[in-house]
Structure 1
Amino acid sequence: MTDAVIDYAAVFQVLPGMVALLTPELVYADANEAYLLSAGRTREQVIGRYLFDVFPDNPDDPGASGMRNLSASLLRVVATGERDAMALQRYDVQSTERPGEWEERYWSPVNAPLFGPDGSVALVVHRVEEVTQLIKARDSSDSSRTPVLEAELYTRARELQEVNERLRQAHAREREVALALQKAMLPAPADVGHHRAAVRYRPAVGTLNVCGDWYDLVDLPGDRIGVSVGDVVGHGLHAAGVMGLLRSALSAASRVADGPAKALDVLGLYARSVDGAESTTAVEISIDWDSHTLAYSSAGHPPAALLHAYGGVEFLDRATDPPLGARPEHVPRPQAATAFAEGDTLVLYTDGLIERRGEDIDAGLARLARSLTRHRAADLEPLADALLFDLLPPQGATDDTALVIVRL
């Protein structure tokens, strides 16, 4: 049997476990038969409705926390794109046969993201296993132990929730410190010499994949400047520290090396002594206004884009080599050059701008080219804002994005 003849909608409905599909706004998009049967709801009572309108907390239980805990888990999945397994939850359900009466129920939920074509979370898969009978059967085996077992159950659940909250707060503090460190190390937005540039940095949403991106602009002898962007694998304080070391090293190398390829050669040799620098990507471009030439070299980085004044977009992809540390032995990196005309625009960026999960990079490059062509008449600052608006997911990207635009 091939994928083409499998009726996945039918498979979804007959899955033996309870599964519902929720939009990022926590509205039911679908639910299988097992879910509806166990929840005691019809399809018409569920589909298209907000989750917590269908299943609110028990108003007679002031300690009810199921709605708050489930909401936090689902929104965390939407924000981070990561699977989230919840601790055992008591979540009472109102009886459909006896309105106003609430049935004591226990659930073991797991929430996972389903990504859309643009790489953002399109749906949340909400899988639930009901363990009410298991809990009650265990309790009934020794009725004298029932209050104790229930107390133990709630104690363990609260302990897990407290641990999760402390971890979340610790990640949030680390993210804030790392972002502050990164901001201090990156150059302030400014033109280079008498040439105009616009820069942007957007951190990833949530606590993951932040603080490894950098950009740099340096004056070079003659009427030249060097522009670079890079992306360190990893996140948090360590990635921010590695980023600072590599950015400073490339900035110094670009001032003395004979061209971008030699500068990346020096950076690659230096990166071997920096823990966490392996697999870093970077691109270095030297802009020479006297010869109207761009010389460039890339270490595994997405290609810079040259927006011509007439509207065409050229990707600088003729001097691409593996990322830093990808080869066991040192091999000189390639370098290429291309001409530019007055009024052209050079755009460098990191992969957060174009890459989406489950999508070929060519689709992201095509989006970038269309956006550049559409906004080619815009000035630099509006152009930078327009690119971010067009290309980043509305709810925020799951990876850092650095962007540098230079008017040639």
Structure 2
Amino acid sequence: MKHFGIDYEAVFQAMPGAVALLSTDLVYADANEAFLRMSGRTRDQVIDRYLFDVFPDNPNDPAASGMRNLRASLLRVAATGERDAMALQRYDVERPDRPGEWEERYWSPVNAPVPGPDGRVALLLHRVEEVTELIRARGGQNGGDRARALEAELYTRARELQEVNERLRRSHAREREVALSLQAAMLPLPGPLGPRWGAVRYRPAVGSLNVCGDWYDLAELPGGRLAVAVGDVVGHGLAAAGVMGQLRSALSAAVRVADGPAAALDALGLYARSVEGAESTTALQAVIDRGSRTVTYSSAGHPPPVLFHADGTFEFLDRATDPPLGARVEHLPRVQAEVTYSAGATLVLYTDGLVERRGEDIDTGLERLVDCLGRHAAAAPDSLADALLAELIPPGGNTDDTALVVLRL
């Protein structure tokens, strides 16, 4: 949307809903006009001030828990990076023009994380809906009592939802553990390569629901050739892990009998049409011939491997890319390409979790990858693989799986 020349500061201020941005230590970084009007504060009374200096608890009413609940929600979002929609909250808000005089207000907040360049939570977005007048209108002459009864009912429902969510969380945690065990059992070790020639890594996504279907595979072929593949199934959890196992096994078998990587992916594409959940899977198959010092490859919509030459130059293997599996209505033969290398080159294959970040152009992630390779190219494959994960994956973890293969040619 850059070509529209959008002024996002103006958009933020013009939003009809009340929205504020806070730092992770709960200091106001910005607030739009709707938020200032709703709260009855000026910009100078809000910006760069601690949340609870602007809106303190009512010391005269220990039952006024809205501010305490809000603090717990914001800190939870900062710690987990997950959005939190709060139940309706009652707040006692001190009138700025009459210190010591408090108004009973009813707000419905939603708090969401705003990630920084490194993927960690940088800001907290706090959106508020004002429902005080609605509560009073429904309450009539006994508005206060009815409002408190409604608040108590909503609180009870919120607690029930929290209990349901906790049961779901435990169930998802068990599913994650099973999915990880399944993936670990199906993904091969480097085998005959040994640490001198190659290293493989699999890094699961953070979060109980985010175990995905990334895979890698290595296979020895006749004539001293080596087949290496990476792939990424759309979806999460056990279902994705199961599809991943089927596709990895099918491609591993196909490359042993097919006439090159493109033919192997052709066979996989036909097989994937019969596997539920395999649609839009990306995969890349390469065959390394150390005798002729060539890499032959074919890609089904997968991010391009990097061939880092011994002289410090590099190239992305992107000259044989077709759509992902199942993306075409009719089956068409896939293309493949061949590239040569000199002894000492390094080939890096990976899934998109290594380079993609939400809201960021993929080219930025590819530049980070090449920069890291340039600085660590002389390292052994094991050390290079560790460096790539350490520098390219956000410190707090990633929301997508990452599979990585590093080969010294």
TM-score w.r.t. the length of structure 2 is 0.86
Moved more, 314-323 or 163-172: 163-172
Relative distance call for 1:275 and 1:26 in structure 2 (3 A) is farther
Q: Which deviations, in whole Å up to 9, do the C-alpha atoms of 1:324-352 show, x marking residues without a partner? A: 11122222211211111111000000011
Relative distance call for 1:17 and 1:376 in structure 2 (3 A) is same
- 2:107 is equivalent to residue 107 of structure 1: yes
* Alpha-carbon distance between aligned partners in 1 of 2:394 and 2:176, rounded to the nearest angstrom: 21
Give, in angstroms, the shift of residue 245 of structure 1: 0.9
- 2:370 is equivalent to residue 369 of structure 1: yes
Give, in angstroms, the shift of residue 194 of structure 1: 8.5
* Alpha-carbon distance between aligned partners in 1 of 2:63 and 2:114, rounded to the nearest angstrom: 34
Q: Which deviations, in whole Å up to 9, do the C-alpha atoms of 1:55-81 show, x marking residues without a partner? A: 5766734976613652366348x635x
Unaligned runs of 5+ in 2: none
Give, in angstroms, the shift of residue 16 of structure 1: 4.1
Which letter maps to 2:215?
A: W
Alignment equivalent of 1:67, drawn from 46, 66, 70: 70
Match in the other structure for 1:135: 135
Match in the other structure for 1:288: 289
Relative distance call for 1:257 and 1:166 in structure 2 (3 A) is same
TM-score w.r.t. the length of structure 1 is 0.86
Give, in angstroms, the shift of residue 358 of structure 1: 3.3
* Alpha-carbon distance between aligned partners in 2 of 1:405 and 1:115, rounded to the nearest angstrom: 29
Match in the other structure for 2:400: 399
Which letter maps to 1:372?
A: L
Which letter maps to 1:384?
A: A
* Alpha-carbon distance between aligned partners in 2 of 1:354 and 1:194, rounded to the nearest angstrom: 24
Moved more, 200-209 or 254-263: 200-209
Give, in angstroms, the shift of residue 390 of structure 1: 2.5
Give, in angstroms, the shift of residue 180 of structure 1: 2.3
Q: Which deviations, in whole Å up to 9, do the C-alpha atoms of 1:123-154 show, x marking residues without a partner? A: 44321112233223423444675554343232
Match in the other structure for 1:30: 30
Match in the other structure for 1:171: 172
Relative distance call for 1:24 and 1:201 in structure 2 (3 A) is farther
Match in the other structure for 2:81: 79
Match in the other structure for 2:249: 248
Match in the other structure for 1:233: 234
Give, in angstroms, the shift of residue 388 of structure 1: 1.9
Moved more, 61-70 or 191-200: 61-70
Match in the other structure for 1:314: 315
Correspondence 1:42-61 to 2 at 5 A:
43-44=43-44, 46-49=46-49, 51=51, 60-61=62-63
Which letter maps to 2:256?
A: R
Give, in angstroms, the shift of residue 191 of structure 1: 5.1
Moved more, 207-216 or 135-144: 135-144
* Alpha-carbon distance between aligned partners in 2 of 1:402 and 1:52, rounded to the nearest angstrom: 44
> For the Cα contact (< 8 Å) 1:66–1:90, is it kept in 2?
no
Q: Which deviations, in whole Å up to 9, do the C-alpha atoms of 1:39-58 show, x marking residues without a partner? A: 45554554345546755766
- 2:301 is equivalent to residue 300 of structure 1: yes
Secondary structure of residue in 2 paired with 1:222? helix
Q: Which deviations, in whole Å up to 9, do the C-alpha atoms of 1:75-99 show, x marking residues without a partner? A: 48x635xx65433233444666777
* Alpha-carbon distance between aligned partners in 1 of 2:242 and 2:315, rounded to the nearest angstrom: 33
* RMSD value, Cα: 3.2
Give, in angstroms, the shift of residue 400 of structure 1: 1.2
Secondary structure of residue in 1 paired with 2:219? strand
Relative distance call for 1:187 and 1:154 in structure 2 (3 A) is same
Match in the other structure for 2:325: 324
Give, in angstroms, the shift of residue 389 of structure 1: 2.5
Relative distance call for 1:50 and 1:384 in structure 2 (3 A) is farther
Moved more, 168-177 or 100-109: 100-109
* Alpha-carbon distance between aligned partners in 2 of 1:152 and 1:194, rounded to the nearest angstrom: 61
Relative distance call for 1:45 and 1:279 in structure 2 (3 A) is same
> For the Cα contact (< 8 Å) 1:192–1:218, is it kept in 2?
no
> For the Cα contact (< 8 Å) 2:64–2:90, is it kept in 1?
no
Secondary structure of residue in 2 paired with 1:248? helix
Relative distance call for 1:217 and 1:57 in structure 2 (3 A) is farther
